[in-house]
């Protein structure tokens, strides 16, 4: 997209989200039963506006670049949209585009929703740590295992299941990807909404049978493409966090200007102004690193991985800190469900751990650049209470 086209996209997205995804509508969506909320009404609009096609090639109905996709992700993050946009367009779209363009076109048109079932409990952030087994029996694939933290699984029509077809539990070689209908016999999905409004699920596969065509991509060789998809999703999740940080900063700045104590607004205090400047700078730094990472997604694997992990390691820590500062400056009301800044804080805290926390990404940077001593963690590892 040209700069003018991207500006038009973002202007229209901001107007639509202000009208259709207000804070009050978000609260109503979160109170709805899992699997029965917003996507049924908003998903067609997302598809019609081209939001599901960003980052995909024109051959499958796509448009725009990863930079355009990241720009939209910031708007979705500002609005705290709970829809499974990330699960579909960032996690699943790259592998479908590589191995099943017809399914990528279905995703881009909004016809079919997907969810990537990769992670397992014992692997924590290591998606290649897979115990789920897949084998051929009488000419059909049979899958058995259990997946956790499957984003968007409660509203997905089709699951993309990463299973081991040979090798040991933590081998990156020997993994294959399978397309499984979400309502297939033997598939059990238990919705697990997280406290920040995301929808995730635990998926159990009990001898699920699939035809030979269910295999996507090369047998035993799915990991490199899945890893690239995870990096794409990591960058887009960073972009959503940048949007959430931007929103939390605006709310805090407005509160500091309007809230008075002893006859003076909070913003009249120099220490408050200094803290607001620090927050503003952290948003700008997070945005710059994220945009650089989005531009690196089409480069070779080491450069892509390095850029994604640099962005995530910074955004995870900066976002969590900004959320804490925003709540603190709001006082006690900042922690209530009736205030938007409280929702932004919970989103930033959860996103800090999603797709690998800061410590995990710093460790990956050390593996990529073992002689670079600047990649030392500055803070203790984040907790693992969220995805």
Can you tell me the mean pLDDT for 75-81? Answer: 94
Largest CA distance in the chain: 80
The structure's pTM equals 0.91
Buried b (16+ CB within 10 A) or exposed e, 262-295: eeeebbeeeebeebbeebeebbeebbebbbebbe
DSSP secondary structure letters along 184-222: STTEEEEE---TTS---EEEEEEEEEE-GGGEESSTTB-
Q: What is the pLDDT of residues 50-75, one digit of tens each?
A: 999 999 999 988 889 999 999 999 99
| pLDDT computed for residue 335 by the predictor | 82
Q: What is the pLDDT of residues 167-221, one digit of tens each?
A: 999 999 999 999 999 999 999 999 988 888 788 999 999 999 999 999 999 999 9
Percent of the chain at pLDDT > 90 equals 77
Do the beta carbons of residue 188 and residue 144 sit within 8 Å?
no
């Amino acid at each position: 997209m040209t700069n003018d086209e991207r500006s038009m996209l973002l202007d229209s997205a901001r107007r639509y989200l202000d009208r259709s995804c207000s804070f009050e509508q978000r609260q109503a969506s979160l109170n709805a039963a899992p699997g029965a909320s917003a996507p049924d009404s908003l998903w067609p609009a997302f598809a019609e506006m081209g939001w599901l096609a960003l980052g995909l090639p024109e051959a499958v109905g796509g448009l725009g670049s990863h930079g355009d996709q990241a720009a939209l992700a910031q708007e979705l993050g500002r609005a705290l949209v709970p829809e499974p946009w990330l699960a579909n367009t960032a996690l699943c779209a790259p592998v479908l585009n590589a191995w099943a363009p017809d399914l990528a076109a279905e995703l881009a048109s909004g016809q079919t929703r997907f969810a990537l079932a990769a992670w397992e409990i014992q692997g924590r952030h290591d998606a290649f740590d897979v115990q789920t087994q897949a084998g051929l029996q009488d000419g059909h694939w049979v899958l058995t295992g259990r997946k956790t933290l499957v984003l968007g699984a409660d509203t997905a029509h089709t699951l993309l299941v990463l299973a081991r077809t040979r090798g040991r539990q933590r081998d990156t070689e020997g993994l294959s990807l399978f397309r499984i209908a979400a309502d297939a016999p033997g598939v059990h999905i238990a919705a697990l909404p997280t406290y920040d409004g995301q929808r995730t699920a635990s998926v159990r596969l009990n001898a699920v049978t699939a035809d030979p065509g269910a295999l996507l991509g090369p047998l035993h060789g799915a990991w490199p493409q899945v890893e690239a998809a995870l990096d794409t999703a990591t960058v887009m999740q960073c972009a959503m966090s940048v949007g959430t940080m931007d929103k939390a900063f605006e709310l805090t700045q407005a509160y500091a200007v309007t809230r008075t104590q002893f006859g003076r607004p909070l913003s009249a205090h120099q220490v408050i102004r200094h803290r607001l400047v620090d927050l503003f700078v952290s948003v700008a730094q997070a945005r710059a690193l994220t945009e650089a990472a989005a531009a690196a997604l089409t480069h070779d694997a080491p450069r892509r991985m390095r850029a994604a992990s640099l962005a995530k390691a910074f955004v995870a820590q900066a976002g969590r800190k900004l959320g804490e500062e925003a709540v603190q400056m709001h006082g006690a009301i900042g922690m209530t469900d009736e205030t938007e800044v409280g929702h932004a804080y919970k989103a930033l805290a959860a996103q800090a751990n999603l797709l690998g926390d800061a410590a995990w990404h710093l460790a990956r940077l050390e593996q990529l650049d073992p002689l670079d001593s600047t990649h030392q963690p500055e803070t203790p590892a984040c907790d693992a209470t969220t995805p």
